[in-house]
């Protein structure tokens, strides 16, 4: 492969380097120059975590061949505050709290800088459009937009520079904008996420993954890969010294596939090599012979007699069944005036945090196996790893690197075990950085549910009985399924007084990608069914949907379906606030007329349009300026 | 990942064509690289090794724009961003202004080129419908035995299916020529899964020239993308409207002529409904941009999607 001599300016400094001709600018910045403010969120030009300026033009560096920047001037996020003083925009991001996980923030700051450089008086719609190539998954954008508008006003002299200072706090933090201590590190790109960290002598890991949803591993031969120059180690299940299993509740997932693979994307072997190219090439030299097994992709089919069995420990493919019984539902249905039955389905959802999984493992000078990773569950992982490695707990250390978004998706110890095994085998630091594609293929999703619902009500709206039969696709391994089933079941029937309740939540093994923790942990799926069902009941009975909830809602002192006494219940306050904020028009869903006064009101979201800049340019009539 | 043995950045078109002649079958041409780099990731084309990459970004002639009486000639490597910020292009190609706003985002528009969008030949290519509506012709050049060869082809014939064109081995799409549409009202409508940076589910380009008194359509240009393997001109609508009085009723009737055309493999019923609404909205918006005043009810319907 040919190389390329580069001579260019980066952040005001002249740089001369020889790099591989095909190298992407993002890799040049991160790997050659250690400018890790630009991140790789997707590598496909979608997310904007790698935005930088080339000759003053904002570009996504993952899509720029390095050859193109010969002789050009590059500005990265590190260049904005080179002398230590934050730019007004960076200060504004700190002031409004416009950074949460922070992974999108360097790119976001660059896009915001571009927006105000192009038009120092940009209006809100124009600001939004200018940032539209940059995705944020945590903040909800509002604080980011506020930051850009604040910086704009300060830079234009509309507001004093002190408007960027942290808010002086009174007696309470509630309702105040509390200074985020880590904000400066995020807006400058200085904060190091796991993929940004390097160590002397560090090896790079790549993982061979299963192409089949269900197959027996007949042979696994790594000799040829291990013999390659530059390959330091290949690890497989054979390298696991202890009890091979992880999972938040059931420890049924081996660090790497043991006798068989159970989903497409499951890790089978891992290579640690001097560089990524060698590691990738070595994967192709690992020989695996599979014997395909019948697979099952539907939770109901998996529960049928004769279905393929995934785990010997669960011959019925059931991970966990949580039943809840209160009163006698048949009696409740018998005394109901109206009975409504419906089935609700939810889908698997990817967390899509902007930071793909990454980790760095090493054995320190005292023989402590250390894993640095954005784990959302370090203590649990430490105990699990100690069991897997058969090491005492004081010889295992977990360091939580900044989490670039997790939402539950980083609770599972998907890759930390492989890093530990490779570090032990090579006695060198090993880093593994997932691509976006690997992150989507290999890691857990939100549990898809099918909820069969039956509810009986009196004509006046009182709920007599609720029956919910919920089946969730847990995928190939247990991970958090047990806990998700429990929470789904406990919260299923909602915060309503119901004398007769029957709930079954069943998590099932299938050969789909494992399901795991995801914001709300099962409550979303069952609540979606309950609240949808109540809306349909309201329509059937001709009752205002909010009133229906008031009729049945729990008050202070209520006893839940799992016999917990609630001292205080804020449901009524919340309902009132929601109705007010939404501009809710009272009345049954069936009596609403053709016009709605609750749409288009202040605080409602208007329909999407693009072209704010066209409008400002058209009114400025600047088209004729040649 | 895209790798190569040699990465070449010719400074002239002649040099580029010479490289292509000399290294037949061994090269890959890149313009903006916004399609090729994502395509070479895992799960799509995967790793691709090209003995030679020919990068067109240094060839100034491929970015030139010329207006000559009724026609506009655009260099193939003109970035999509130029349709938003070059006054000459905005005046003569008003529809490209609206198209470019919906194309990727600011950063991708600085890289992605008009020629690349056409050669890539996605059924959902945003630039194809507006150009087809403007009677675009593409110029294909090559070198054979040291002699430059050139042929021109209507864009409608150039794209033959998803990802396939009439571009021959050794040929480069160097320019696009189309009608100047100065004075037309224009609109571009696109629906995708989210607001920006998204592939079209349906996109429509409309250009309208009107006679304000007595309020008639004079010339209509309408083309649609993403509902069939290749983008197409909606001549039945154009002919139906030509000379007709301007009203929402005529526009509605014209739009309904199109629903039968939807032949996508997925979500056909949805696309059919979207297409009719979109064409109605595009024609209305184009007429408004040409200075036609509609009553509020029509406009409200267009704006609020209800």
Residues of A in contact with B99 (CB under 8 A): none
Percent of chain B with pLDDT over 90: 67
| Residue from B32, B106, B120, B291 whose CB has the most chain A CBs within 10 Å, to mutate | B106
> What integer best gives the mean pLDDT of chain A?
94
At residue B258's C-alpha, the angle toward residues B256 and B263, to 5°, is 135
For the segment B241-297, what is each residue's pLDDT rounded down to a tens digit?
999 999 999 999 999 998 777 776 677 787 788 788 889 999 999 999 999 988 755
> Half-sphere exposure of residue A516, counting CA atoms within 13 Å on the CB side?
27
- Mean per-residue pLDDT, B61-82: 95
Would the CB atoms of A59 and B110 count as touching at under 8 Å?
yes
Would the CB atoms of A68 and B5 count as touching at under 8 Å?
no
- Checking phi first, is residue A520 left (phi over 0); if not, alpha (psi -120 to 50) or beta? left
- Mean per-residue pLDDT, B56-82: 95
- Mean per-residue pLDDT, A563-583: 94
Instruction: Supply A208's token pair.
Output: 């061979």
Strand-strand pairing, A73-75 and A57-60: unpaired
Sequence-separated (6 or more) residues with CB below 8 Å from residue A263? A210, A213, A214, A475, A476, A477, A511, A512, A513, A514
CATH topology of domain A83-171+179-191: DNA polymerase; domain 1 (1.10.150)
CB proximity A108 to B under 8 Å: no
Q: Are A451 and A494 in contact (CB under 8 A)?
A: no
Q: Which of A472, A195, A499 has its CA nearest to residue A359?
A: A195
Residue ranges covered by each domain of chain A: 3-79, 83-171+179-191
Instruction: Supply B59's token pair.
Output: 């060839």
Over 70: is that where the pLDDT of A431 sits? yes
For the segment A471-508, what is each residue's pLDDT rounded down to a tens digit?
999 999 999 999 999 999 999 999 999 999 999 999 99
Q: Are B251 and B284 in contact (CB under 8 A)?
A: yes
Under DSSP, is residue B277 helix (H, G, I), strand (E, B) or coil?
A: helix
Distance from CA of A607 to the nearest CA of B (A): 6
Burial A359-398 (b: 16+ CB within 10 A, else e): bbbbbeeeeebbbbbbbbbbebbbebbbbbbebeeebbbb
CB proximity A24 to B under 8 Å: yes
Write down the pLDDT at residue B303: 44
Would the CB atoms of A130 and B91 count as touching at under 8 Å?
no
Strand-strand pairing, A215-221 and A500-509: unpaired
CB proximity B30 to A under 8 Å: yes
Of the options 3.40.50.300, 3.30.420.40, 3.10.20.30, 1.10.420.10, the CATH number for the domain spanning A3-79: 3.10.20.30
Over 80: is that where the pLDDT of A233 sits? yes
Torsion of CA A249, A251, A257, A258, to 10 degrees: -160
For the segment A577-608, what is each residue's pLDDT rounded down to a tens digit?
999 888 888 888 877 666 666 666 666 676 66
For the segment B179-200, what is each residue's pLDDT rounded down to a tens digit?
999 999 999 988 766 555 556 6
Please give the Cα distance from A25 to A38 (Å, whole number). 10
Number of other CB atoms surrounding residue B167 within 10 Å: 20
Respond yes or no on whether the N-terminal peptide bond of residue B214 is cis (omega within 30° of 0): yes
What band does B121 get if pLDDT is binned at 50, 70 and 90?
confident
Distance from CA of B144 to the nearest CA of A (A): 28
Number of other CB atoms surrounding residue A78 within 10 Å: 21
Over 70: is that where the pLDDT of B100 sits? yes
Residue A429 phi, psi dihedral angles, 5° rounding: -65, 140
Residue B295 phi, psi dihedral angles, 5° rounding: -75, 165
Residues of A in contact with B108 (CB under 8 A): 45, 60, 63, 133
For the segment A38-54, what is each residue's pLDDT rounded down to a tens digit?
999 999 999 999 999 99
Write down the pLDDT at residue A600: 64
| Among B residues 50-69, those touching chain A with beta carbons less than 8 Å apart | 53, 55, 57
Facing residue for A68 by CB, picked from B1, B55, B90: B55
Q: Are A488 and A480 in contact (CB under 8 A)?
A: no
Q: Are A622 and A119 in contact (CB under 8 A)?
A: no
Strand order in the sheet with B71-75: B65-68, B71-75, B172-179, B137-144, B147-154
Instruction: Supply A401's token pair.
Output: 């690197």
Would the CB atoms of A65 and B33 count as touching at under 8 Å?
yes
Facing residue for A608 by CB, picked from B42, B43, B195: B195
Would the CB atoms of B107 and A438 count as touching at under 8 Å?
no
> What integer best gives the mean pLDDT of chain B?
89
At residue A70's C-alpha, the angle toward residues A65 and A76, to 5°, is 75
Q: Are A215 and A263 in contact (CB under 8 A)?
A: no
Q: Which of A6, A517, A20, A421 has its CA nearest to residue A205?
A: A421
Residues of B in contact with A607 (CB under 8 A): 303-305
Distance from CA of A326 to the nearest CA of B (A): 43
| Beta bridge mates, B55 | B30
Instruction: Supply B122's token pair.
Output: 């996605």
CB proximity B152 to A under 8 Å: no
For the segment A334-346, what is each residue's pLDDT rounded down to a tens digit?
999 999 999 999 9
> Half-sphere exposure of residue A366, counting CA atoms within 13 Å on the CB side?
6
> Half-sphere exposure of residue A309, counting CA atoms within 13 Å on the CB side?
8
Q: Are A503 and A487 in contact (CB under 8 A)?
A: no
| H or E, element range at B165 | strand B164-165
Distance from CA of A588 to the nearest CA of B (A): 21
What band does A139 get if pLDDT is binned at 50, 70 and 90?
confident
Distance from CA of B193 to the nearest CA of A (A): 12
Percent of chain B with pLDDT over 70: 92
What 3 state SS string does A2-35 have? CEEEEEEEECCEEEEEEEECCCEHHHHHHHHCCC
CB proximity A4 to B under 8 Å: yes
What band does A569 get if pLDDT is binned at 50, 70 and 90?
very high
The position carrying tokens 């709930």 is A503
CB proximity A57 to B under 8 Å: yes
- Mean per-residue pLDDT, A530-547: 97
What ipTM, to 2 d.p.? 0.92
The position carrying tokens 């290294």 is B23
Strand-strand pairing, B147-154 and B137-144: antiparallel
| Beta bridge mates, A19 | A4
Over 60: is that where the pLDDT of B65 sits? yes
> Half-sphere exposure of residue B241, counting CA atoms within 13 Å on the CB side?
36
Over 60: is that where the pLDDT of A567 sits? yes
Would the CB atoms of A65 and B55 count as touching at under 8 Å?
yes
Write down the pLDDT at residue A594: 63
Over 50: is that where the pLDDT of A513 sits? yes
* Higher per-residue pLDDT: A343 or B102: A343
Please give the Cα distance from A598 to A589 (Å, whole number). 13
Write down the pLDDT at residue A353: 97
Residues of A in contact with B197 (CB under 8 A): 46, 132-133
pTM of the model: 0.93
For the segment B129-179, what is each residue's pLDDT rounded down to a tens digit?
999 999 999 999 999 998 999 999 999 999 998 889 999 999 999 999 999
Strand-strand pairing, A57-60 and A51-54: antiparallel
Would the CB atoms of B3 and A57 count as touching at under 8 Å?
no
- Mean per-residue pLDDT, A442-469: 98
Nearest CA in chain B to A622: B87
Find the range with the poorest average confidence among A260-269, B43-52, B74-83, B266-275.
B266-275
Sequence-separated (6 or more) residues with CB below 8 Å from residue B65? B72, B73, B74, B75, B78, B82, B86, B88, B89
For chains A and B, what is the number of CB pairs under 8 angstroms? 119
What band does A625 get if pLDDT is binned at 50, 70 and 90?
very low
The position carrying tokens 């539950």 is A408
Over 80: is that where the pLDDT of A89 sits? yes
Under DSSP, is residue B245 helix (H, G, I), strand (E, B) or coil?
A: strand
């Amino acid at each position: 492969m040919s190389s390329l001599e580069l001579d260019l300016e980066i952040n005001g400094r002249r740089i001369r380097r020889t790099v591989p001709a095909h190298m992407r600018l993002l890799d040049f910045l991160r790997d050659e120059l250690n400018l890790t403010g630009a991140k790789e969120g997707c590598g496909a030009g979608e997310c904007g975590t790698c935005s930088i300026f080339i000759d003053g033009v904002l570009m996504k560096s993952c899509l720029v061949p390095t050859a193109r920047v010969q002789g050009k001037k590059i500005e990265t996020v590190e260049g904005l505050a080179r002398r230590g003083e934050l730019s007004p925009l960076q200060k504004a991001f700190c002031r409004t709290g416009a950074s949460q996980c922070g992974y999108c923030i360097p790119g976001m700051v660059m896009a915001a800088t571009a927006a105000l450089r192009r038009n120092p008086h940009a209006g809100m719609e124009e600001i939004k459009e200018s940032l539209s190539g940059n995705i944020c998954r945590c903040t909800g954008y509002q604080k980011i937009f506020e930051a850009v508008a604040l910086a704009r006003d300060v830079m234009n002299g509309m507001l004093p520079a002190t408007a960027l200072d942290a808010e002086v706090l009174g007696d309470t933090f509630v309702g105040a904008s509390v200074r985020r201590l880590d904000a400066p590190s995020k807006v400058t790109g200085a904060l190091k996420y796991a993929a940004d960290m390097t160590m002397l002598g560090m090896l790079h890991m790549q993982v061979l993954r299963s192409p089949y949803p269900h197959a027996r591993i007949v042979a696994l031969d790594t000799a040829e890969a291990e013999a390659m120059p530059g390959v330091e180690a290949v690890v497989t299940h054979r390298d696991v010294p202890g009890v091979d299993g992880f999972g938040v509740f059931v420890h049924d997932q081996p660090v790497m596939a043991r006798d068989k693979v159970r989903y497409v994307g499951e890790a089978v072997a891992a290579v640690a090599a001097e560089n990524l190219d060698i590691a990738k090439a070595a994967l192709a030299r690992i020989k695996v012979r599979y014997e395909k097994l019948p697979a099952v992709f539907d939770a109901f089919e998996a529960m049928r007699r004769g279905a393929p069995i995934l785990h010997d420990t669960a011959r019925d493919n059931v991970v966990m069944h949580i039943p809840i019984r209160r009163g006698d539902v048949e009696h409740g249905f018998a005394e109901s005036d109206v009975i409504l039955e419906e089935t609700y389905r939810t889908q698997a959802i990817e967390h899509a945090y902007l930071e793909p999984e990454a980790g760095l493992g090493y054995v320190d000078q005292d023989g402590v196996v250390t894993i640095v990773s954005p784990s959302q569950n370090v203590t649990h992982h430490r105990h699990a790893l100690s069991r897997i490695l058969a090491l005492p707990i004081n010889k295992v250390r977990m360091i939580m690197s900044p989490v670039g978004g997790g939402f539950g998706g980083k609770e599972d110890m998907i890759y930390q075990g492989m890093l530990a095994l490779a570090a032990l085998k090579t006695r060198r630091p090993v880093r593994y950085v997932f691509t976006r594609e690997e992150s989507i293929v290999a890691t857990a999703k939100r549990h898809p549910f099918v909820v069969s619902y039956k509810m009986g009500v009196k004509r006046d709206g009182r709920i007599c009985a609720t029956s919910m039969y919920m089946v969730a696709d847990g995928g190939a391994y247990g991970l958090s399924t047990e806990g998700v089933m429990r929470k789904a079941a406990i919260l299923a029937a909602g915060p309503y007084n119901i004398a007769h309740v029957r709930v079954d939540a069943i998590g099932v093994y299938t050969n789909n990608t494992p399901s795991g923790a995801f914001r709300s942990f099962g409550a979303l799926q069952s609540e979606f069914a309950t609240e949808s069902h109540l809306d349909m009941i309201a329509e059937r009975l001709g009752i205002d949907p909010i009133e229906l909830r008031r009729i049945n809602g729990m008050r202070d002192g209520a006893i839940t379906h799992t016999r917990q006494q609630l001292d205080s219940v804020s449901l009524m306050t919340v309902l009132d606030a929601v109705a007010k904020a939404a501009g809710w028009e009272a009345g049954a869903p069936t009596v609403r007329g053709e016009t709605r006064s609750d749409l288009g009101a202040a605080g409602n979201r208007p329909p999407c349009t693009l072209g704010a800049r066209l409008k400002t340019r058209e009114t400025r009539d600047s088209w004729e300026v040649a | 990942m895209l790798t190569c043995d040699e990465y070449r950045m010719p400074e002239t078109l002649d040099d580029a064509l010479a490289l292509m002649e000399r290294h037949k079958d061994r090269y890959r041409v890149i313009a903006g690289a916004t399609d090729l780099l994502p395509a070479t990731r895992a799960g799509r084309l995967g790793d691709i090794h090209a003995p030679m990459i020919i990068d067109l970004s240094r060839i100034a002639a491929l970015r030139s724009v010329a207006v000559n009486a009724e026609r506009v000639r655009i260099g193939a490597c003109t970035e999509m961003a130029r349709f938003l910020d070059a006054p000459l292009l905005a005046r003569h190609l008003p529809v490209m202004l609206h198209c470019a706003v919906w194309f990727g985002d600011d950063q991708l528009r600085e890289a992605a080129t008009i020629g690349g969008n056409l050669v890539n030949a996605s059924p959902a290519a945003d630039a194809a419908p507006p150009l087809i509506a403007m009677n675009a012709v593409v110029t294909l050049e090559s070198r054979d035995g040291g002699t430059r060869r050139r042929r021109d082809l209507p864009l409608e014939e150039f794209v033959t299916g998803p990802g396939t064109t009439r571009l021959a081995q050794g040929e480069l799409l160097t320019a696009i020529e189309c009608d100047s549409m100065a004075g037309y009202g224009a609109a571009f409508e696109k629906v995708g899964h989210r607001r920006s940076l998204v592939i079209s589910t349906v996109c429509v380009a409309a250009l309208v020239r009107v006679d304000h008194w007595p309020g008639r359509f004079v010339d209509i240009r309408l083309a649609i993308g993403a509902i069939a393997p290749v983008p197409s001109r909606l001549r039945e609508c154009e002919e139906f409207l030509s000379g007709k009085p301007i009203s929402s009723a005529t526009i509605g009737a014209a739009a309904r002529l199109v629903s039968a055309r939807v032949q996508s493999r997925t979500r056909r019923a949805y696309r059919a409904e979207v297409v009719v609404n979109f064409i109605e909205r595009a024609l209305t918006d184009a007429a408004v941009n040409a200075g036609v005043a509609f009553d509020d009810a029509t406009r409200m319907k267009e704006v609020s999607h209800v």
